């Protein structure tokens, strides 16, 4: 109980809770560094919670809280930050521990995925390179296994569509994909996709492509001009058949009639 008592009186002389809005364009880590830099010393955040788009941080004392309040309106990652001192702190923990733990975890996951996208998107060319994700340190740190692969791709694409809606080029090369269930929403997320690489995966059947074409999707890739399938079992098997080259092109064109370049050949 002494721990609870000290918590109760902490707001007078001790820690203070501050809410932050407008931070979503960056990551939690980049925000912490930004704030340390702006106030000229470490903020020493003791605790972080999330509720919707708002981040709640606990800082060691009201002096630091006041320094943060003075930063209200400053631009960070394309948005203006706003800070509020919570004289009646929002309580996290016991009552809604499960729910807050989940939203905290999902906010941290979102944070990591934003960081991933920032390292892999190229705004000049409107492209996103999601190749070899299994070797990416951010993905490794999340500890995703192959059962969660589809979920992970869906989460990455949903988030990318909010941040980079104008993408025209995406690569999923070298991901060991056996099916495309995780990226089936590609046409919905990015209606303007023109170039797609599925190079060096484990796709063994042309039917796997149906979820991106009008055969199996209500939002197919209807502007697709370039597709790279080289390095998949289905491609190698098809090209081994008599007249394989012609039937290979035909199977792709049946699904994507707008194609102009296949495996880097017109």
Encode pLDDT of 197-247 as tens digits: 999 999 999 999 999 998 988 899 999 999 999 999 999 998 888 877 788
Cα separation, 49 vs 47, in Å, equals: 7
pLDDT band for position 160 (50/70/90)? very high
Encode pLDDT of 173-182 as tens digits. 999 999 999 9
- How far is 26 from 24, CA to CA, in rounded Å? 5
Strand order from edge to edge, sheet including 226-228: 121-122, 127-129, 169-171, 195-197, 226-228, 261-262
pLDDT at 13 over 60: no
**CA dihedral over 156, 162, 164, 168, signed as positive or negative:** positive
Q: Containing H/E element for 122?
A: strand 121-122
Percent of the chain scored above 90 by pLDDT? 51
Q: What angle do CA 176, 181, 183 make, to 5 degrees?
A: 80
Instruction: Give tens-digit pLDDT for 70-108.
Output: 999 999 888 899 999 988 888 875 443 344 444 556 777
CB 173 within 8 A of CB 131: yes
Between these two residues, 161 and 93, which has the higher pLDDT value?
A: 161
Which percentage of the chain shows pLDDT scores above 70? 86
Q: Give 141's pLDDT tier (boundaries 50, 70, 90).
A: confident
pLDDT in tens, 243-263: 777 889 999 999 999 999 999
Placement of tokens 């000229």 in the chain: 40
Pick from 122, 30, 26, 20: nearest CA to 78: 26
CA-CA distance, 219 to 185, in Å (whole number)? 8
- Beta carbons within 10 angstroms of residue 266's beta carbon: 7
Neighbours of 9 (CB within 10 A): 9
Q: Are 16 and 52 in contact (CB under 8 A)?
A: no
| CB neighbour list of residue 254: distance below 8 Å, 6 or more residues apart | none
- Reply yes or no on whether the pLDDT at 5 is more than 60: no
């Amino acid at each position: 109980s002494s721990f609870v008592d000290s918590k109760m009186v902490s707001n007078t002389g001790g820690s203070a809770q501050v809410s932050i809005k407008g931070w979503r364009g960056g990551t939690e880590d980049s925000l912490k560094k930004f704030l340390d830099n702006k106030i000229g010393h470490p903020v020493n955040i003791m605790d972080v919670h999330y509720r919707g788009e708002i981040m709640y941080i606990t800082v060691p004392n009201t002096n630091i809280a006041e320094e943060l309040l003075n930063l209200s309106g400053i631009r960070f990652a394309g948005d203006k930050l706003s800070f509020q001192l919570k004289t009646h702190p929002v309580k996290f923990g016991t009552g809604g521990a499960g729910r807050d733990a989940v939203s905290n975890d999902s906010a941290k996951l979102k944070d990591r995925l934003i960081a991933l996208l920032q390292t892999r998107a190229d705004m000049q060319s409107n492209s996103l390179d999601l190749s070899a994700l299994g070797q990416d340190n951010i993905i490794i740190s999340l500890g995703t296994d192959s059962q969660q692969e589809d979920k992970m791709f869906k989460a990455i694409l949903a988030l990318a569509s909010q941040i980079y809606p104008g993408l025209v080029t995406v690569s999923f090369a070298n991901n060991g994909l056996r099916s495309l269930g995780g990226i089936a929403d590609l046409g919905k997320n990015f209606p303007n996709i023109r170039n797609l690489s599925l190079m060096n995966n484990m796709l063994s059947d042309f039917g796997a492509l149906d979820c991106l074409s009008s055969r199996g999707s209500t939002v197919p890739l209807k502007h697709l001009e370039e597709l790279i399938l080289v390095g998949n079992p289905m491609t190698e098997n098809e090209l081994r058949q008599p007249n394989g080259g012609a039937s290979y092109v035909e199977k792709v064109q049946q699904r994507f009639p707008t194609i102009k370049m296949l495996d880097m050949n017109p």
